[in-house]
Amino acid sequence: MIEILPLTRREKYLKNGGGTCPACLSTNIECGTGTEMDGTKLYVSVSCNDCDATWDDEYDLAGVANADGFDPDEVAVPAL
Ligand SMILES: [Zn+2]
């Protein structure tokens, strides 16, 4: 027998691509009264306009984009 575990609110939020409130599932959510960096993490505040829940979206450093002044694919000097 295969048991399917229910998703947590966090898992469902991630599965929905962050498009719905983790508390009430409304799509009437709004990013952004603040951002905070902590090492390789970035936190962006989000709030729900329907149930007033608030949370931070958490992002991990995943790459280098829009490089100017260097080639991100060039071998690092000194080579590591
Ligand atoms: Zn909500």
Let me know if residue 79 belongs to a domain.
Answer: no
CB 24 within 8 A of CB 53: yes
pLDDT the model gives residue 80: 58
Let me know if residue 25 belongs to a domain.
Answer: yes
CA of 50 to the centre of ligand 1 (A): 5
User: Residue range 12-37: average pLDDT?
Assistant: 93
CA of 32 to the centre of ligand 1 (A): 15
Let me know if residue 15 belongs to a domain.
Answer: yes
CA of 54 to the centre of ligand 1 (A): 8
Residue ranges making up the domain that contains 49: 9-59
CA of 49 to the centre of ligand 1 (A): 7
- The mean pLDDT of the chain is 92
Question: Closest by alpha carbon to 21, among 66, 45, 43, 54?
Answer: 54
Let me know if residue 33 belongs to a domain.
Answer: yes
User: Residue range 38-56: average pLDDT?
Assistant: 96
Tell me how many domains the chain contains. 1
pLDDT the model gives residue 1: 75
Let me know if residue 48 belongs to a domain.
Answer: yes
> What percent of the chain has pLDDT above 70?
98
Say if residue 14's pLDDT is above 90: yes
Q: Enter the pTM of the model.
A: 0.78
